[in-house]
Amino acid sequence: MSIQLGDVAPDFKASTTQGDISFHDWIGDGWAVLFSHPKDFTPVCTTELGEVARLKEDFLSRNAKVIGLSVDDLKSHQAWEGDIKDATGQNVNFPMIADPDRVVAELYGMIHPNASTTMTVRSVFVIDPSKRIRLSITYPASTGRNFEEILRTLDSLQLTDQYLVSTPVNWQEGDDVIVAPALSDEEATNRFPKGFKTIKPYLRMTPQPNR
Ligand code: BEZ
């Protein structure tokens, strides 16, 4: 069965461009974003890795580390880093897992044989400090991901872990959020001193509580 939200992220040992790791130890006490790309020296992947490098500080400011993976070997990853720098101007400043034997790719269900038997799809797993899978998305090889969206989901996950709220469609940091339907109006008044607006009894909006 595939990995599902709420599952403990499978632990593994691997070689990466920044040394050997034990995944859970590498995650430490923070959040992690594990993402696969189909193949080294390919165009969409080159743009993605440059973008993740550009956004690394934005991930770190959310207490999140990023780590990439493909089923290529370490030598290939290391050689490709030069091309990524040439093409995008970015030094690859995060580890890339070398998984030529597909151990991690299989563990995380990153190979979808009806899409490709030789490459991973574009998987993303967001893992919380208790090592649970909190978000998973899958894109095909032909479609580059939007890593600003992964930052947005981290903002939502971290906010909704802290307050009894959820985030509406297209929510961005600073926008109003939804009061948990389980709260009575009286409880919501106590919890959200900035007040709330009732659009429907089950849809009440309040300013982002930690702003
Ligand atoms: C790419 O990154 O451009 C790519 C990789 C594998 C298959 C197709 C496209």
Instruction: Please classify residue 118 by burial: count the beta carbons closer than 10 Å to its beta carbon, then call 0-12 exposed, 13-18 middle and 19+ buried.
Output: exposed
Domain hosting 28: range is 13-145
pLDDT at 163: 98
Q: 97: Cβ below 6 Å to ligand 1?
A: no
CATH number of the domain that residue 185 is part of = 3.30.1020.10
Torsional sign, CA 189, 191, 197, 203: negative
155, part of any domain: no
Q: Is residue 26 located within the same domain as residue 102?
A: yes
For residue 72, the domain's CATH number is: 3.40.30.10
- CB of 43 within 6 A of ligand 1: the answer is yes
SS3 label, residue 28:
coil
In this structure, is residue 150 part of a structural domain? no
Nearest-atom number in ligand 1 for the CA of 144 is 2
Residue 17 tokens, joined: 């461009």
Give the mean pLDDT per block of 10 residues along the chain (211 residues): 94 98 98 98 98 98 98 98 98 98 98 97 98 98 98 98 98 98 98 98 97 93
- Residue 95 to residues 103, 124, 137: CA-CA distances in angstroms? 17, 15, 20
Total domains present in the chain: 2
Q: Where a domain ends, among 145, 177, 192? A: 145
What CA–CA distance (Å, rounded) separates 204 from 164?
A: 12
Same domain for 56 and 128, yes or no, is: yes
Number of Cβ within 10 Å of residue 119's Cβ equals: 21
Question: How many A from CA of 140 to the centre of ligand 1?
Answer: 9
Co-location of 128 and 80 in the same domain = yes
Q: Minimal CA–CA distance to 45: which of 16, 9, 81, 19?
A: 81
CB of 157 within 8 A of CB of 175? Answer: no
